[in-house]
Structure 1
Amino acid sequence: DPRNYALAVRAVSGLQVGIVLTEGSSDSIRGKPLAQLDAILAAGAQDFSPVAVSPDSVAALLYTSGTTADPKGVMLTHANLMGEVEGVFSVLRIGPEDAVLGLLPLFHALAQMANLLLPLVTGARVVYLETLNTNDLLRAFRERKITGFAVVPQFFYLIRERIFKEVAQRGRLAQLGVRRLMSLNRLLRRLGLNAGRIFFRQIHQTFGGTMRYLITGGSRFDPQVGREFHALGIDILQAYGLTETTGGAFLTSPDDNVIGSVGRPLPGSEGRIIDPQPAGEDTQPAGEIAIRGPIVMKGYWNRPDATSAVLKGGWLHTGDLGYFDTHGNLFITGRMKEVIVLSNGKNIYPEEIEAHYLNSPFIKEICVIGVEARPGDAMSDGLHAVIVPNFELLRQRKIVNAKEVIRFDIEGLSVKLPSTKRIGSYEIWQQDLPRTTTRKLKRFEIEKRIQANAAQGLAGDSEIAQEKPLTAEDASWLEQPEVQRALEIIRQATKAKSEELRPTDSLELDLGFDSMQRVELLVALEQELGGNVEESRASEIYTVRELVDLVRESAASGTAASSREQFAGWQAVLQKEPVDPEALALAARRPVAEIFWLMLSRVVRLFADDRFKLHVTGLENLPSHGPYIISSNHQSFLDPVILSSVLPGSVFRQLFSVGTSEIFGSGFMRVLARSLRVVVVDPDANLISAMRAGAFGLQHGRILMLYPEGQRSIDGRPTRFKKGAAILSIHQRVPIVPVAIEGFHEAWPRGKRFQKFAPFRIKFSEPIYPPPEPEASEIAYEKLTGELKKRIVRMWEELRRENGT
């Protein structure tokens, strides 16, 4: 390839190459003659004399992709190639009636076997795509009657995501229906039946309707994904091998597809486990996988040292770890060189940990490494992760605080793992993680970047920017006077130098703005540049350029900015009446609904007194009438139900809150929310609307129940408090009543089902009153938030002592 001339020169150097094939180039490479592919094809069929070869002659020299910086040339003989074809053919009955879709590049051993050698020997057709995109791929499945397809696991992850995304778009009822049918078909498959093509006909049509063999290999395949496809009636066979084994060495059988394993050795080959380690509490007795048979390479080209290191007594030592079950199926647990040995002697397999945390939809990629116990120590003291967020999903859901939602998911996923397998720290990268062509993580490169970040003294959730040069368009944009004014305001807010700001900088990940600060920054830019950005569009801003251009667009459209004074941004926002009908309904009385829910809350109180031994103190600190805010720490789903049940009737009838669409999104829950005066707004996507709804209710004399943490605590301890309660208190001139609760986490912890009837304790403090009007500033917000947290934490600690915890 003339576009990679330097690489070609290095590859040809030292090789016994007689001729080099090229496309469109006429120059020689290190004296080697070139043959143009176009000329060869134009010449048509020619008479060539057969070349004398023996089974032991080298037929292909493939360089390993390598997750290290030391690729080696693998010598594969004619006997290796035929041994591979014969072994695969004995498991997969491919014939002239089959059509194989070739997607993997032919410089991979797996692709040479699946997409070239096996079809040539069996007479099957091979279909290649002119362009690699989803539409052409799915069209090829249908129109070319594809029956066999081998591809890396990432393809099936994407297909799975696409399937369940389309189901989710049809509503919760459709999701429930699909899950029920999957459970039923899973049961049927245990009985030897498969109704997948009937239950999920449309999904099966995704693969064209003629597919017989779906095979994955090249890197770890998540067994949970395999189980989900199995429940859909689709079997994904898993292959395992190396370039050194001519591609596949193990393959699950269509007649006995053990999900999670890579099957048994190909006929003619054998495998064994070397130096298996004793089984742990949650681990199998894994050891190094060794392979012997006709598929094992001749050796590494001109690397006798490397050859002798892996070929011992005819056995290829793979460097991979695994174990066999009682039926001879191989299960891969990791790579020897990637195993993390903790200071307590525990062996940690990073791929297992990574697969667990990838259950978060907001994590696109993750790499787990060990953190040194001491400088230079081979042991690790804990686990550190590099996380790449799923920015596409975040944008779809209009979530701008990626750090917060990722932290929430990590906390929830961590409690499901043994303490030794939990990541103790992580950092967020915005670029894709470096990988090999078979999608394996280049861990050595990632570790180098982590070390570089640490050397620069960066925070755990930031990284050294891998910046691309500015485009001419971006450079021109930065020079505009109006943009310069905007950048100066951003610089003042983020403490960064104006000339260092880039159009593509993330407001959150690069500049550190949280949801509240983004609104304040938007208000400041509107004041400087003019305009008045619509609330719905404010949640679509992620980068510096998107922010500045949106404000400029609003100003150019003639939308006048509100008159605002310094620190009065929130005052202007909260004075505007909301447009949401559910928020506007807060002004209306509902005497019948109020009496019904009040009576029901008394029943809840009686139940809580009996089963949870509920103990409440400090109710005399509650003002009898609103407006004011009740703020409590947040431990479980039971918090608002129990807390509201202990309030006096006069307080209960004035109560309202703001809830998320995750809980009150549609159907019965949405109707319930309206009846209970729960305004359904997602603060992540519509912070202004959520704050405005809170202010509107307070302006009409109501009492707002608000959880300043914004989420349930993972361990019951109060966490970081947001400043929303303080902002509402200061600008609406209403007090905040701090409340501490304890015992709720033990009854129903986050991420788990209801556990037990634990003793509940609730304590109300005296109200905290806002500072004088002139103190409506960022400092005032932080001070009031700090006082609120201090009061709640102190009461919570007292309740813990009372509970004996």
Structure 2
Amino acid sequence: MSQTLDGLVSELAKRQGDRPAFGHLGKSLTYTEVDVLSRRFAAWLQHCTDLRPGDRLAIQLPNCIQYPVALFGALRAGLVVVNTNPLYGEEELKRQLQDSGARALLVYEPLSGPASRVLDETVIEYVLTTQIGDLHTGWRRWGLNACAHYRRRGGRRMRGGTPLTEVLKPETGRHWVPPDAAELALLQYTGGTTGPAKGAMLTHASLLANIEQLRQRLQEVDSGAGLTLLQPLPMYHIYSFVLVMLMFSQGNYVELIPDPHDAKGLAKAFERVKPSCFAGINPLFIALCQKPEFSQLDFSSLKLTISGGMALTESAARRWQEVTGCAVTEGYGLTECSPVVSVARPGMERIGSAGAPLAGTDVRVVDDQGAALPSGESGEIQVRGPQLMQGYWGSDNADEQRHADGWLATGDIGQIDDVGEIHIIDRRKEMINVSGFKVYPSELENLISAHPDILECAVIGLPDEEKGEFIKLYVVSNNPRLTTRGVREYCRERLTSYKVPRSVEFRHDLPRNSIGKVMRRTLREEAIHELGLDQRPDSQQAGRLG
């Protein structure tokens, strides 16, 4: 395998040639086309800007075939890619652009309003724009772009900038010159679900190590006929990114879904593409299984369903297998580990287990004093392996989570069972202290979500003068007759008394981050404001694949 991510492109173009590599909305790019277009992008960066190897380029795109072209083109020019959420508001975007020091930005034009308003407060010098249908042809291109403009009408957009279509034109006389091999590939900002996001420095070596580790763990799935991954999760998230790179590196096909929130459209894509692999998260599995048109599909082609990004509830895992006939293969990881630490072996899945650590990865569980704990006991998970990040970008203490012997403190609470598989309990900083007893939100959420009238739920802890904290439960129900009393009675029958939520609030939906993970931090901030408590939530940090 190549020593760099971008080096994969040349190798695969020679071996795979005209086989399709990426597609979205009816258009696909072959391995050869990805090679050619990314060379043109790299040549433009080298000849039409003064960007130099090591400079940062932010890519702010939804899932579309322009993404891999820009990604590999930037890496081929020796740049560092900053994956950026196209749905960011002004403050989030400004902070990430300022922190990364990005000098160039590729932005999705229909969502470019926030970028246009913060550019003057950043060091961005080069702006490129693209639309959803730019790599399509003829009327299809015009129709897709017109539709996207109509849906986003009324908002301010980027004025000026260089259209990506101009950059990718053939016969410009520009030629790509391979630079010296780069070490750093990505600045991948952590999810920020429990605190400010940080830029994890992921190298070519750490990412390629993780891709190879995943290949070894999942190799039983490939029948030799080639796989098709249906990917609704955004590529700017590290969980999705590495799964896509894994599939690409093996010569497989990836169908990118621009809007993961359109469950009906995703069901249609399932029927059209007939994927052998699917990547999802807990709420996505729930949403799809609720759609009658999804449940009626033929899933005979589906060989692998991967879950990450947040805890997988037993009810969601069982329902998915009932509907599709395919068990959910759960994994665990974090941005700082490029990101995968463990994945269940396909065909040997156990609900509640994130599988054994990947090859070359050491995992241990320690107590509050840092002493290693035996199997079956709960403590903080620590990880050591070739996929670990280089450090945090701009941090005065690059090893703030790393011990001298190479162990990374994850901040996750879990245990390792007798067969060496990892079981995740929750984030250390989200543990609730009720009268000195430890309560983990994920444990309660897993049990309560099994209620037949509850689609999903979230648990937080709030300050209490007498008990330290009390438990509040948020419920999304499919039964308007379900009451607070009914929920609490359900909990009393199944939980010890101090784990029963004192407060229950029904909601139509729950706040989520870009990949769909519930933002407990947001719920806690809202609740504290409603209670009128002059207290800010603890500053917390998390960047989880699982």
Which TM-score band (shorter chain)?
0.5 to 0.7
Q: Deviations over 1:426-450 (max 9, x none)?
A: 1425463323223333333322322
Distance 1:359-1:306 versus aligned 2 partners, 3 A rule: farther
Contact 2:102-2:123 within 8 A present in 1 as well? no
Q: Which amino acid aligns with 1:38?
A: T
Contact 2:349-2:355 within 8 A present in 1 as well? yes
- Counterpart of 2:401 in 1: which secondary structure? helix
2:514 to 429, 437, 440: 437
Distance 1:81-1:123 versus aligned 2 partners, 3 A rule: same
Partner of 2:423: 331
1:254 to 330, 337, 346: 346
1:421 to 496, 499, 517: 499
Contact 1:142-1:209 within 8 A present in 2 as well? no
What is the distance in 2 between the residues matched to 1:155 and 1:248?
A: 20
Contact 1:288-1:320 within 8 A present in 2 as well? yes
In the TM superposition, residue 66 of structure 1 has moved relative to its aligned partner by 1.6
Partner of 1:314: 406
Written as runs of structure 1 = structure 2, the 5 A alignment for 1:359-758 is 359-374=450-465, 380=468, 383-390=470-477, 393-394=479-480, 399=481, 405-423=483-501, 425-428=502-505, 430=507, 432-455=509-532
What is the distance in 2 between the residues matched to 1:102 and 1:331?
A: 26
Distance 1:393-1:373 versus aligned 2 partners, 3 A rule: closer
Contact 1:244-1:297 within 8 A present in 2 as well? yes
Q: Does 1:215 align with 2:343?
A: no
Partner of 2:273: 144
Distance 1:430-1:369 versus aligned 2 partners, 3 A rule: closer
Partner of 2:136: none
Is the strand fraction higher in 1 or 2? 2
- Counterpart of 1:100 in 2: which secondary structure? strand
Contact 2:363-2:381 within 8 A present in 1 as well? yes
What is the distance in 2 between the residues matched to 1:433 and 1:412?
A: 21
Q: Which amino acid aligns with 1:21?
A: L
Distance 1:31-1:446 versus aligned 2 partners, 3 A rule: closer
In the TM superposition, residue 148 of structure 1 has moved relative to its aligned partner by 0.9
Q: Does 1:39 align with 2:39?
A: no
Distance 1:284-1:92 versus aligned 2 partners, 3 A rule: closer
Gaps of 5+ in 2: 1-59, 61-85, 129-161, 370-374, 534-546
Partner of 1:127: 255
Is the helix fraction higher in 1 or 2? 1
What is the distance in 2 between the residues matched to 1:389 and 1:331?
A: 26
How does the TM-score come out when normalised to structure 1? 0.45
What is the distance in 2 between the residues matched to 1:371 and 1:34?
A: 44
Q: Which amino acid aligns with 2:168?
A: L
Q: Does 1:15 align with 2:100?
A: yes
Q: Does 1:68 align with 2:194?
A: yes
Partner of 2:439: 348
2:211 to 74, 80, 85: 85
In the TM superposition, residue 130 of structure 1 has moved relative to its aligned partner by 5.1
Q: Which amino acid aligns with 1:141?
A: F
What is the distance in 1 between the residues matched to 2:240 and 2:92?
A: 22
How does the TM-score come out when normalised to structure 2? 0.65
Structure showing greater Rg? 1
- Counterpart of 1:367 in 2: which secondary structure? strand
What is the distance in 1 between the residues matched to 2:205 and 2:190?
A: 20
Q: Does 1:266 align with 2:358?
A: yes
In the TM superposition, residue 97 of structure 1 has moved relative to its aligned partner by 1.3
In the TM superposition, residue 207 of structure 1 has moved relative to its aligned partner by 5.7
In the TM superposition, residue 389 of structure 1 has moved relative to its aligned partner by 4.2
Distance 1:220-1:346 versus aligned 2 partners, 3 A rule: same
Gaps of 5+ in 1: 167-201, 278-282, 457-805
Instruction: State the percentage of identical aligned residues.
Output: 28
* Structure of higher RCO (CA pairs closer than 8 Å, 6+ residues apart): 2
What is the distance in 2 between the residues matched to 1:96 and 1:298?
A: 37
In the TM superposition, residue 103 of structure 1 has moved relative to its aligned partner by 0.9
Distance 1:6-1:445 versus aligned 2 partners, 3 A rule: closer
Distance 1:431-1:229 versus aligned 2 partners, 3 A rule: closer
RMSD: 3.2
Distance 1:122-1:446 versus aligned 2 partners, 3 A rule: same
- Counterpart of 1:264 in 2: which secondary structure? coil
Q: Deviations over 1:534-560 (max 9, x none)?
A: xxxxxxxxxxxxxxxxxxxxxxxxxxx
- Counterpart of 2:443 in 1: which secondary structure? helix
- Counterpart of 2:214 in 1: which secondary structure? helix
Distance 1:447-1:59 versus aligned 2 partners, 3 A rule: same
Partner of 1:225: 316
What is the distance in 2 between the residues matched to 1:227 and 1:276?
A: 35
Distance 1:230-1:446 versus aligned 2 partners, 3 A rule: closer
In the TM superposition, residue 249 of structure 1 has moved relative to its aligned partner by 1.3
Contact 1:362-1:406 within 8 A present in 2 as well? no
- Counterpart of 1:351 in 2: which secondary structure? helix
Partner of 1:174: none
In the TM superposition, residue 44 of structure 1 has moved relative to its aligned partner by 7.5
What is the distance in 1 between the residues matched to 2:326 and 2:319?
A: 9
What is the distance in 1 between the residues matched to 2:102 and 2:167?
A: 18
